[in-house]
Amino acid sequence: MERTGGCACGAIRFCITGELLGTGACHCSDCQKMAGGGPNYVALVPKGVLAVTQGEPKLYQTKGDSGDDVARAFCPECGTPLWSIPRHAPFMTIKAGAFDDTQDLGPRMHIYVSSAPPWHAIPPDLPAFQKMPPAHPSEP
């Protein structure tokens, strides 16, 4: 299966192949900045399945709440956040909104809810974790 996506202005285009590992909403403070205040809706994919087919995203290097180095990719023209690559994890996350078709990308879990402001909606029927899920691959 192939999914395509890109930024708001169209300068960056990408595609991924294969199945998603999962979807989620991250409420960490970095994600709130990137998302403009809301949680960050992401799809989890293995590293190596993403191909940039047009343009060159800019990388913002930072440290995630996990302590790992994280490269956050965004379009240098329009600023759309695109994906994040934790250096030491076997996976990366792609913003749900970066995909052309977002219909099936609803979050299956909420993470870092300990950082969520009281007005973030966290539905009671989904798993919610204070930080990362315990079995998460990046958890030491």
Nearest approach in angstroms of CB 29 to Zn ion is: 8
| Amino acid found at 116 | A
| Amino acid found at 94 | I
Nearest approach in angstroms of CB 113 to Zn ion is: 11
**Residue 17 DSSP SS3:** strand
CA distance 88 to 6: 25
CA 78 from chain centre, in angstroms, equals 18
Kind of pairing, strands 110-111 and 22-26?
A: parallel
Cβ contacts of residue 121 below 8 Å, gap of 6+?
A: none
- The residue (of 18 and 54) whose beta carbon lies closer to Zn ion is 54
How many other C-beta atoms lie within 10 A of the C-beta of residue 42?
27
- The residue (of 20 and 73) whose beta carbon lies closer to Zn ion is 73
- The residue (of 11 and 15) whose beta carbon lies closer to Zn ion is 11
Nearest approach in angstroms of CB 16 to Zn ion is: 18
Nearest approach in angstroms of CB 124 to Zn ion is: 21
- The residue (of 20 and 84) whose beta carbon lies closer to Zn ion is 84
- The residue (of 75 and 113) whose beta carbon lies closer to Zn ion is 75
- Which residues would be at the binding site for Zn ion (CB under 5 A)? 7, 9, 11, 26, 28, 31, 75, 77-78
Q: 């930072």: which residue's tokens?
A: 62
Nearest approach in angstroms of CB 7 to Zn ion is: 3
DSSP alpha helix (H) spans, 7-139: 29-35
